[in-house]
Amino acid sequence: MKFRNYFICFICILLTLSGCQNIKMFRKEEQMKEKVSPITRQELFEITLPNGLKVLINENHSSPVVAIDAWINVGSLNEGSFPELNGVTHFLEHMMFKGTKKRPAGELDKIVDSIGAEWNAGTSEDFTHYYIISAKEYIETALDVLSDILINSTFDANELEKERQVILEEYRRKEDNPPALIWTLASEQAYKIHPYKMSVLGKPETINNITQEKMFKYYNTYYTPDNMVLILSGDIKPNEVLSLIEKYFGEFKRKRGEYRDSFPAEYNTKEIKVIKKEVNEIYFMMTFPAPSIKEIKDIYAMDVLLSILSEGRTSKFYHILRDKKKLVSAISASFATQKDPGLFNVYLNCKTENIDKVEKEIKTIIQKVQKGSVKPKEIDKAKKLLENTYKFNNETNEGRTGTIGFYYIVSGSKDFELSYIDNIKTVTIQDVVNVANKYLKTDNANIIMIQPNKVSEK
């Protein structure tokens, strides 16, 4: 069940991936040995308001807290129809907190602070979402401010110019940070044709091309009740909260505009790109095609394969390349479930003199899996890791709304998320071998490296 933790944290993930990924995996592996309580989750309550807004409610009475999370079915994927505005989805997300018709910039934050709540937002390729976490007694205030930004944002011209500079600075920081940069470059390299090729942040020329008028048009097209799902999890009952949802979202009448939310994908193969920077070791990424949510059986098998290759210190990549042969300082793999065909990435850091051995070892490990070397105990361990990760991700109300919302937007219903663990349990060794052969064709992999500059002698 792999998904990016959205663009609010997207750059943070990239900045910390090389150092923290394996630490988190160690924790998961140790916790597998502990008894994990089953998830106390009732069946989700689901209703659609007359204006088309879908509402999902998850009761969790373990503490008097509520998370409210509004998911909009729009991400940088939709910028494929107008690439000259690449970055507008993320830019708009920033601007949603900068004032509404009812409240000027700054007042919204004061209200949220006054009730001791937290709120934030995130943008990714497939979606944007806005969430607020508050004590149960302040749920009406939380619904008020969240609905206000979704329905009434004004995108003040002065605030827009200030925020443009903030985003341009984000771009500059990413360009100067090798772990962040290599992820952007890998997607750009991997696709011949597809909006996933474009950065969620955009580029300076496109960021500077976004005007208030263009942002309003984008907002009015996508930020509509029939293009959203509102998710609540916490110490609430549906019959107690529905009247408040109707009060603050029922008069939301905009209708979704015409747009595309799916694009054909064509991949590049065998491309090698080397970039020189002031770094001390190589940053390396090997990229393969990966399934979309439409290849649903492949999604489950790919998650299990990812776990076998990369989850924890006994995973194949970590055990062989770091522990046993000491060829890398960090290594991980990633696969995000997405609406359209995605990527399977292998990311690592190593010394320059080790890179040829590292590349060969990665390919050898994958090829052995393709030939059926996976053992039953590896499959069983991978399934346990995935189940425990699922449980850990859903321990909090905000984790629960995040999991539900992500998969609702990507798959189009609550069913994928609710049946995830049951379907993971059905994955066989042959399923894993099949997806490894179908997608991870080592002779066609794309490779991108950021290498150290040679130190010139004075």
**Residue-level pLDDT at 315:** 95
**Percent of the chain as helix, strand, coil, to the nearest 5:** 50, 20, 30
Q: Tell the burial category of 437 from Cβ atoms under 10 Å away from its Cβ (0-12, 13-18, 19+).
A: middle
Instruction: Determine the average pLDDT of the residues in 156-168.
Output: 97
pLDDT of 222 strictly over 50: yes
**Residue-level pLDDT at 5:** 37
pLDDT of 4 strictly over 50: no
**Residue-level pLDDT at 229:** 98
**Residue-level pLDDT at 257:** 81
CATH number for the domain spanning 65: value is 3.30.830.10
170 plus 47 within the same structural domain: yes
Q: Is 44 helix (H, G, I), strand (E, B) or coil?
A: coil
pLDDT of 27 strictly over 50: no
DSSP single-letter state for residue 318 = I
Cα dihedral: 9, 10, 14, 19 (round 10): 30
Tens digits of per-residue pLDDT, 413-454? 999 999 999 999 999 999 999 999 999 999 999 999 999 987
pLDDT of 17 strictly over 80: no
Sign of CA dihedral 350, 386, 66, 407: positive
- Residue 433 near residue 374 (C-beta atoms within 8 A): yes
**Residue-level pLDDT at 301:** 98
Local confidence band at 258 (pLDDT 50, 70, 90 cut-offs): confident
How many domains does the chain fold into?
2
**Residue-level pLDDT at 34:** 33
Q: Can you tell me the distance from the alpha carbon of 240 to that of 224, in angstroms, rounded to the nearest whole number?
A: 25
Instruction: Determine the average pLDDT of the residues in 202-230.
Output: 97
Instruction: Determine the average pLDDT of the residues in 357-378.
Output: 97
203 plus 110 within the same structural domain: yes
Instruction: Determine the average pLDDT of the residues in 145-160.
Output: 97
405 plus 316 within the same structural domain: yes
433 plus 305 within the same structural domain: yes
Instruction: Determine the average pLDDT of the residues in 99-107.
Output: 94
pLDDT of 141 strictly over 80: yes
pLDDT of 380 strictly over 60: yes
Q: Can you tell me the distance from the alpha carbon of 429 to that of 125, in angstroms, rounded to the nearest whole number?
A: 31
188 plus 150 within the same structural domain: yes
Q: Which structural domain range is residue 311 located in?
A: 267-452
Give the residue from 221, 249, 277 where a domain finishes: 249
Give the residue from 217, 249, 281 where a domain finishes: 249
Asked whether residue 20 is domain-assigned, the answer is: no
Q: What is this structure's pTM? A: 0.89
Query: H-helix or E-strand containing 350?
Result: strand 342-350
Give the residue from 222, 249, 276 where a domain finishes: 249
315 plus 418 within the same structural domain: yes
pLDDT of 6 strictly over 80: no
Tens digits of per-residue pLDDT, 303-323? 999 999 999 899 999 999 999
The more confidently predicted of residues 205 and 7 is 205
pLDDT of 293 strictly over 50: yes
Instruction: Determine the average pLDDT of the residues in 103-111.
Output: 94
CA 8 to mean position of chain CA atoms = 9
pLDDT of 124 strictly over 60: yes
Q: Is 116 helix (H, G, I), strand (E, B) or coil?
A: coil
pLDDT of 400 strictly over 80: yes
Asked whether residue 435 is domain-assigned, the answer is: yes
245 plus 337 within the same structural domain: no
pLDDT of 1 strictly over 80: no
Q: Can you tell me the distance from the alpha carbon of 442 to that of 360, in angstroms, rounded to the nearest whole number?
A: 10
pLDDT of 457 strictly over 70: no
